[in-house]
Amino acid sequence: MTATEPIQVTRLAEATGAGRLGAGIGRHGPSAPYAQAVWLPVLGPASFLVWQRLARTALHRPGTTTNREELAAAVGLGSPHGAQSAVNRALRRLERFGIVRWEEQPGVLEVRCRLPDVGANHLYRLHPGIQVHHHRLRRTGT
C-alpha cells in the first residue's frame, strides 16, 4: 500500500478483537487517563499517537477516508514513504497488538476504540511507578 492510497477507518467490534489483546471489551478510550499512563509506555509514543488519532476518527467520524501521508502528518511522524517509515512501523505494531486490523476489503482499517487493562505479560516489564499507577487507576475505574 502506498502513502497516498485511501484508508477507510472503521470501528473494530469490541467482542471480535483478536491478537495479543485477546477478545473482550475494552474500557479505556483514546482520552482515558489509564490509556495515557499505562498503554502509552507499552505501545510507544508513535504507535499510541496513531492509535489515538485512528480511534477518535472511528468514534466520531466512522467511515472517514484518510491515507498514510495524511495520518503521518497529523501526528508529526514525517514521511510515510518506505516500509520502515515511522507511520508504517506504528501501524504494524498496532496490528501485532490486535488494536487495528486490515479488513478483507482492500483499504479498510478496523480500529479498536477502547483498550482493556494491560495484561500481566506486559505489566511486569513496565517501570514500578507505572505498575503502581496501573493498580491505582484500576481501583478508581478511570
Predicted local confidence at residue 17, as pLDDT: 47
Q: Which residue has the higher pLDDT, 3 or 32?
A: 32
Predicted local confidence at residue 117, as pLDDT: 94
Residue 56: phi and psi, rounded to 5, are -65, -40
Residue 1 within a domain: no
Q: In the structure, what pLDDT confidence band is assigned to residue 21 with cuts at 50, 70 and 90? A: low
Beta carbons of 4 and 67 less than 8 angstroms apart? yes
- Range of the structural domain that residue 109 is part of: 7-15+29-140
Amino acid letter, residue 51: W
Q: DSSP strand E in 58-132: where?
A: 65-66, 100-102, 108-111
Q: In the structure, what pLDDT confidence band is assigned to residue 23 with cuts at 50, 70 and 90? A: very low
Which of 18-32, 76-90, 118-132 bottoms out in mean pLDDT, i.e. has the lowest? 18-32
Write the pLDDT tens digit of every residue in 62-116: 999 999 999 999 999 999 988 889 999 999 999 999 999 999 888 999 999 999 9
Residue 115 within a domain: yes
Give how many domains the chain has, as a whole number. 1
Residue 21 within a domain: no
For the segment 28-39, the average pLDDT, to the nearest whole number, is 95
Instruction: Give the span between the Cα atoms of 39 and 102, in whole angstroms.
Output: 21
Residue 22 within a domain: no
**Residues in a beta bridge with 10:** 110
Residue 119 within a domain: yes
Residue 75 within a domain: yes
For the segment 38-44, the average pLDDT, to the nearest whole number, is 97
Q: In the structure, what pLDDT confidence band is assigned to residue 58 with cuts at 50, 70 and 90? A: very high
- Percent of the chain predicted with pLDDT > 90: 75
Residue 93 within a domain: yes
Residue 73 within a domain: yes
3-state secondary structure of 28: strand
Q: Which three cell numbers stand for residue 85?
A: 517509515
For the segment 27-53, the average pLDDT, to the nearest whole number, is 96
